[in-house]
Amino acid sequence: MSISGAIGILSTRPRHAVGTDGRMVLTDHLRELRARIMRSVLVVVVVFGISLFFYDQLLELVRRPYDQAVAALGQEVPTDLVISGVTSPLMLQLKLCGVAAVILSSPYWLLQIWGFVVPGMRSGEKRWTRVFAAVAGPLFLGGVALGYYVLPKGIEVLIGFTPVDVTNLVDFGEFFSFLTRMLLVFGIAMEIPLFVVMLNLAGVVSGKAIGRHRPWIVIGTFVFAAVATPSTDPFSMLMLAFPMLGLFIVAEIVSRLLDRRRGRAQDPAWADDEVSPIHD
């Protein structure tokens, strides 16, 4: 594919063949899905190529949590990162640049996901979907950054279980897989409250229902944080659970406001209510 063709794919917006009833046929949905997947893959490949030029910086960024954990342990536990195998260095470089490409391009492919959902929503909901599309990427990157922040403490706790007079040789491939899972768990977890708001827009769940189940949401959030975090330390669990709970509270507030807005639009009695904080 030429560069001009690639730019054309990125710049061309998908055309929705919407019928008179406001619906798209299955083949048009599949064409749109294929176009958005191609755009997302192309962006990931471009960012992957750019990441190859910054491999040394990315490698240093990946090593930093381990180095901070080792510095916190001091001389108590002798440990070192090792790479074994002839092809391991090449595979590590490809994996590292691939993960970096997926994370850095997340605002774009998340935007494509939301864009694919938009045609299935009513016109009044599409405006909110555009707002959520702009929020989804920063939320994911914020979750990844939070996971990276708590990672050294988790590594310190895990390496701290090494028996006395035993050298802990940490395989770099295993360490990188652990780091990737940790970052992706934090990134995806930050999207869950946003998904709750989308369910509210779709009419699946109401703000009052979220409020009634708030105690179970709190318990479920802590259970999810305990199970999802690869490390076993409570610090990582709490650092995942508390931001999620905060986002769930925001999701409940937004859902209640949306419910009130829809109720006002459907009930003529709301038309003369001038003290309502929400206006069309």
d(CA 50, CA 48): 5
How far is residue 226 CA from its own chain's centroid?
18
Q: Which of 37, 20, 19 is nearest to 28 (CA)?
A: 19
Has residue 35 been placed in a domain? no
Q: How far is CA 7 from CA 12, 25, 63, 86, 182, in A?
A: 8, 28, 35, 38, 34
Answer for the pair 185, 240: CB distance below 8 angstroms, yes or no: yes
| Separation CA 77–CA 253 (nearest Å) | 48
Nearest to 153 by CA among 81, 223, 233, 80: 233
Domain assignment present for residue 8? The answer is no
Handedness of CA 201, 224, 58, 172 (dihedral sign): negative
Strand partners, 18: 24
Q: Is 5 a member of any domain?
A: no
Question: Is 176 a domain residue?
Answer: yes
Predicted local distance difference test score (pLDDT) of residue 208 = 86
Q: How far is residue 186's CA from residue 175's CA, in Å, rounded to a whole number?
A: 17
User: Which of 1-5, 89-93, 227-231 bottoms out in mean pLDDT, i.e. has the lowest?
Assistant: 1-5
CA proximity to 52, closest of 109, 103, 101, 3: 101
For range 56-75, the mean pLDDT: 87
Among 7-16, 230-239, 259-268, the range of highest mean pLDDT: 230-239
Tokens 């709750």 belong to which residue?
A: 196
Say which range, 128-132, 154-158, 166-170, has the weakest mean pLDDT.
Answer: 128-132
Q: How far apart are CA 125 and CA 108, in angstroms?
A: 21
Asked whether residue 226 is domain-assigned, the answer is: yes
16, pLDDT greater than 70: no
Q: Is residue 28 part of a domain?
A: no
Given a cut of 60, is residue 12 above it in pLDDT? Answer: no
Whether 273 is in a domain gets the answer no
Nearest of 250, 99, 106 to residue 188 by alpha carbon:
106
Q: Total domain count for the chain?
A: 1
Average pLDDT in the 163-192 region?
A: 86
For 94-102, what is the mean pLDDT? 90
Q: Report the pLDDT value the prediction gives residue 156, as an integer from 0 to 100.
A: 85
Range of the domain at 82: 55-263
Return the C-alpha torsion angle 109, 114, 119, 125, nearest 10. Answer: -160
Instruction: Label residue 49 by pLDDT band (50, 70, 90).
Output: very high
> Quick one: what percent of the chain has pLDDT higher than 90?
7
| 24 in a structural domain | no
Would the CA dihedral through 20, 21, 26, 31 be positive or negative? positive
Mean pLDDT of all residues in 251-269: 73
What secondary structure letter does DSSP report for 24? B
pLDDT digits (tens, 9 = 90+) for 116-132: 766 555 555 566 666 77
Phi, psi values for residue 18, rounded to 5°: -95, 130
**pTM of the predicted model, to two decimals?**
0.69
